[in-house]
Amino acid sequence: MNFEFINFELANNLVICVHVNPDGDAIGSALALKHYLERKGKQATIIVPNIFPDFLKWLPGADSILVYTNNKHKEQAKTAIGQADLVIVCDLNQPNRLGYMEEDIMQSKAPRILIDHHLDPDTNFCGVIMSHPEMCATGEVICHLLSEQGELDSISQDEATCLYTAMMCDTGAFSFNSNRPVIYEYISHLLARGIDKDQIYRNVFWTASEGRLRLLGYLLYVNMKVLHERRTTIITLTNEERRRFKVKNGDTEGIVNIPLTVLGMRLSIFINEDTEHPGIMKLSLRSVGDFPCDQMALRFFGGGGHKNASGGKLQCTMPEAVEKVKAAIDSYADMLK
């Protein structure tokens, strides 16, 4: 499968949508697609279910993204969906991952194309499915499709910047799920387009608010629980603590990875109260080695993802969430020895 769909005569007004709580792979991939399609003479609108991290707003074209839950954007987003003659669903595998905009997207009469790298895509969700779970990011899937089309060396610097950001974010700056040599072949092509990978890294990982630094110290010193026998850490963050530290959108990104730097730790879980829905606890799971975060997330937290990076949620209080997480950890005691 390649990008031949862009030659459809009727596909001139496209909507690109991504999963709820968009991350770097979702935003980077969607923006790369938007730039690519517009270079081909198409009209492309990116719509995200809710806000995305501030540290991604420097990406070229990010200021054009419509946020479905933003009252100023909602009518424009609905109009774009209603007028779309093609919908590209990017970086998700199930329709419920569209969150607040699921109903509008699913009711659209426009055909849907899925471009993703998550396991077990819903095969009834989209008419065309481009799913490559073996790839490190949806950004890599797009690189692969462009390469198959013979266009990877023809993309713009903006497209290359967005694709590099997508892959970098979904691999922790290429520190996990990134051992396949072809990834670095794609990166060499992106570098040849003139991207500044060092600046991209600084923009994403080394641009912090004062609140993030103070919050980080607090979470690691006060809120991090280390379960030594299970080689696991749990970090919690409530909305009251968010307000106390004046946390901005994106300030908590990557915090879940930090405890894995402790010698011997195999699993890190971050429990974060949802800012838009108090009483919903969002969970981020990260692991090293062969511990299956995705299985734990699916089994106990109604989520999923990748072996070493997954997520889920619980509807309960924070203390109840901690106890549920501990029970889940205990059920994997043998694997965490």
DSSP string across 262-294: STT--EEEEEEE-SSSTTEEEEEEEESTT--HH
Together in a domain, 70 and 139: yes
Q: What confidence score (pLDDT) does residue 250 get?
A: 80
Tell which phi-psi region holds residue 246, choosing left (phi > 0), alpha (psi between -120 and 50) or beta. left
Number of domains the chain contains: 2
Any domain includes 148 = yes
Together in a domain, 173 and 125: yes
The three-class DSSP label of residue 204 is: helix
Any domain includes 337 = no
Any domain includes 336 = no
Per run of 10 residues, the mean pLDDT along the chain (length 337 residues) is 53 94 96 96 96 94 97 96 96 93 96 94 92 96 96 97 97 91 98 98 89 93 97 97 88 92 96 89 95 96 89 96 98 94
Any domain includes 17 = yes
- Which among 173, 205, 237 is the end of a domain? 205
Together in a domain, 152 and 294: no
Together in a domain, 97 and 227: no
Together in a domain, 167 and 313: no
Together in a domain, 181 and 280: no
Any domain includes 170 = yes
Together in a domain, 184 and 285: no
Together in a domain, 221 and 268: yes
Separation between Cα atoms, residue 65 and residue 251, nearest integer Å? 20
Alpha helices in 6-55 (DSSP H): 24-39
Question: Whole domain around residue 148: which residue ranges?
Answer: 4-205
Q: What confidence score (pLDDT) does residue 305 get?
A: 83
**Which backbone phi and psi does 324 adopt, to 5 degrees?**
-65, -40
- Which among 146, 174, 205 is the end of a domain? 205
